[in-house]
């Protein structure tokens, strides 16, 4: 049976494409989901794509991915990246490899965005590639878990 990658998106990302295009571009979460599904399909992987504005719900989903032995988690925790020890602990608590993604280059922005609580416990981090970062994260996960490309 095909393995599943959870793609988890945090607060306000449901608004992607509606404002701040100079930082986040014009694409929507729907576009991000399409990119993720296309990338995963090339490696015969399933995508479970979710967005929540609630910290506890994101934590429940990280734990669920761990319990379900998901092939990986791609997470853009939004602003919780910079504030949530609880999400950091959830990521640290799963054996599933976690890839941290940010659409913008958080290091080229305000000082308060320069620190991520998640980076130290993630398997890898990507930022500044726009929504292409999600595709790169799935490609990277596929390589990590040895999911070959579809002929
Ligand atoms: O660059 C990223 O992906 C971020 O995770 C996005 C978060 C921000 O707090 C992080 O520092 C970096 C913000 C998500 C809100 O996105 C919106 C996009 C368009 C319109 C409104 C919100």
Q: Percent helix, strand and coil across the chain, each rounded to 5?
A: 45, 15, 35
Q: Across the chain, which distance is largest between two alpha carbons, in Å?
A: 45
Only one residue has tokens 């997470």, namely: 75
The residue whose CA has the least distance to atom 21 of ligand 1 is: 15
Q: What is the structure's pLDDT at 151?
A: 64
Is 26 a residue of the active site? no
Which pLDDT belongs to residue 80? 98
From the CA of 109, give the closest atom in ligand 1: 11
SS3 116: coil
Q: Which residue in this structure is represented by tokens 């040895």?
A: 146
Q: Probe ligand 1: pick from 80, 102, 110, max atoms within 8 Å of CB?
A: 102
* Both structure tokens of 6: 């959870």
Tens-binned pLDDT, residue by residue, of the chain (151 aa) = 789 999 999 999 999 999 999 999 999 999 999 999 999 999 999 999 999 999 999 999 999 999 999 999 999 999 999 999 999 999 999 999 999 999 999 999 999 999 999 999 999 999 999 999 999 999 999 999 987 777 6
- Whole-number pLDDT of residue 52: 98
């Amino acid at each position: 049976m095909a393995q599943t990658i959870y793609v988890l998106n945090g607060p306000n990302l449901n608004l992607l494409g509606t404002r701040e295009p100079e930082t986040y571009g014009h694409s929507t979460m729907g576009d991000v989901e399409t990119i993720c599904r296309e990338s995963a399909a090339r490696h015969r992987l399933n995508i479970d794509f979710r967005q929540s504005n609630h910290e506890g719900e994101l934590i429940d989903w990280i734990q669920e991915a761990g319990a379900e032995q998901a092939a990986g988690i791609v997470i853009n925790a939004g602003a919780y990246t910079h504030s949530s020890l609880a999400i950091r602990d959830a990521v640290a608590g799963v054996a599933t490899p976690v890839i941290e993604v940010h659409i913008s280059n958080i290091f080229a922005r305000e000082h308060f965005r320069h620190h991520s609580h998640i980076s130290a416990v993630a398997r890898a981090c990507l930022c500044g590639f726009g929504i292409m970062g999600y595709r790169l994260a799935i490609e990277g996960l596929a390589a990590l878990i040895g999911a070959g490309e579809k002929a």
